[in-house]
Structure 1
Amino acid sequence: MHYLKHSTIDMDLLAGELAISRATLYRMVGSRDALLGEVFWALGRIFLAEASGEASGTGPDRVIHVSRLFAEMVTGAQQLKRFVAEEPQTAARVLLTTGSDVHHRAVDAQLEIFEASRVGGEPADLRRRAFLYVRLMESVVYSPVLGVPEMDFDLAEPALRALLPA
């Protein structure tokens, strides 16, 4: 709720809102980046669930449909846009590196989407494909963090499809 209200996490303000000390807050969450990672993953999980619920069909077409809906939700999230504009280095660190669990969780979620869409294959191969798929999706939805203009999903779709087993 703090993030949605402020489009960021201010640890001093959050500690005050929770009526705890900053030291207690840091003991509870580890770091601001870790807390932001949890917030971004919670939002991402909501977007993925909504996109998965709206998508129909099976196979690669369903995977692409889920991805398109997810991309629309993320790129339309005003708080995330504001956060990325104001704190691009923090956004890159939290969203795109292994310093937080966001990327790892996204790969696991992509594997679940493959499974729900009945996209099969050898588990190790599917994990590698999911990793690459997520990296490409990150390029689409977080292009401002990467310092490029907003990426159109249609441009990425052929590459995304190429990562899906036939």
Structure 2
Amino acid sequence: MRASTDEIVQFAAGLVVEGARLDTREIAIRFEMSRTTLFRRVGNREELMGKALWWLADRALVRAVARWEEQYGQAVRDERGVLRCLRILEFYGEVAVNDAGFVELLEKEPVVAMRVLTDPHGQVQPRAVAAHVALFDRDVADGGLVPLIDLQTLGYAAVRLQEAILYSDVLTGHTANFPTAVLLVRQLVEGVLRAPAA
């Protein structure tokens, strides 16, 4: 039976979780197809890696939203007044920084991983920006907030800021610091999404 594109991507995502290298030759053999057919279905190795990473990220984001709803229902802010979008992004970020397979990928293939993760036309960054925009838009609508800039720009800025901090060990040799990323993104978003004037 012919494997679907999603099945191939899920298999590749499983390899990332296991800390295994994405070998397109082995993946093609696993699904009984030529590498040419595999490339036609899911793209080259970096495109497949991007699709696999986003597949994992998207599911982590769904779990982060569910975690918020379990704790706070449909509230726009938590008990400390932190916006729903920010806490969801924190929950999501915790999954990424604690994922052993993802960390191993960054350690073993830093150049490739950075290219895949931060490509503005790739499989990950544009979708991450869109996901951020959707979270911000929901809080703006439900909380009656007034954005000082357009949400697309805010989403892009938030993603790039997180990339700069969370991948700093790979990009600059500085130690990545998740709490710093949380603080900076919180300051950025709360400074842009203002409560309506009384």
- Give the TM-score range, shorter chain: 0.7 to 0.9
* Aligned-pair CA distance for 1:138: 2.0
Structure 1 residue 163 and structure 2 residue 173: aligned? no
1:103 counterpart letter in structure 2: Q
CA distance in 2, matches of 1:157, 1:9: 31
* Aligned-pair CA distance for 1:79: 1.1
Gaps of 5+ in 2: 1-10
CA distance in 1, matches of 2:182, 2:98: 19
State the partner residue of 1:78. Answer: 100
Relative to 1, partners in 2 of residues 1:3 and 1:9: Cα closer, same or farther, differing over 3 Å? Answer: farther
State the partner residue of 1:108. Answer: 130
State the partner residue of 1:137. Answer: 162
Question: Secondary structure in 1 aligned to 2:83?
Answer: helix
Deviations 1:93-144 (A, max 9, x none): 1001224131111111001111233364469711101110111122343334
Deviations 1:18-46 (A, max 9, x none): 11111111122221111111101111101
2:40 to 2, 27, 36: 27
- 3-12 vs 35-44, greater mean Cα deviation: 3-12
CA distance in 2, matches of 1:52, 1:141: 21
Gaps of 5+ in 1: none
Q: How many residues align?
A: 166
TM-score, normalized by length of structure 2?
0.74
- 8 Å contact 1:74–1:141 — kept in the other structure? no
- 8 Å contact 1:144–1:150 — kept in the other structure? yes
| Identity among equivalent pairs (%) | 27
**RMSD over aligned Cα atoms:** 2.2
State the partner residue of 1:10. Answer: 23
Higher RCO (C-alpha under 8 Å, 6+ residues apart): 1
Relative to 1, partners in 2 of residues 1:89 and 1:140: Cα closer, same or farther, differing over 3 Å? Answer: same
CA distance in 1, matches of 2:93, 2:158: 13
Structure 1 residue 97 and structure 2 residue 114: aligned? no
* Aligned-pair CA distance for 1:158: 3.6
CA distance in 2, matches of 1:40, 1:12: 19
Structure 1 residue 42 and structure 2 residue 44: aligned? no
* Aligned-pair CA distance for 1:155: 1.8
- 20-29 vs 41-50, greater mean Cα deviation: 20-29
* Aligned-pair CA distance for 1:68: 1.2
Question: Secondary structure in 2 aligned to 1:163?
Answer: helix
- 8 Å contact 1:136–1:156 — kept in the other structure? yes
- 8 Å contact 1:94–1:100 — kept in the other structure? yes
Deviations 1:64-83 (A, max 9, x none): 21111111100111111111
Relative to 1, partners in 2 of residues 1:2 and 1:53: Cα closer, same or farther, differing over 3 Å? Answer: same
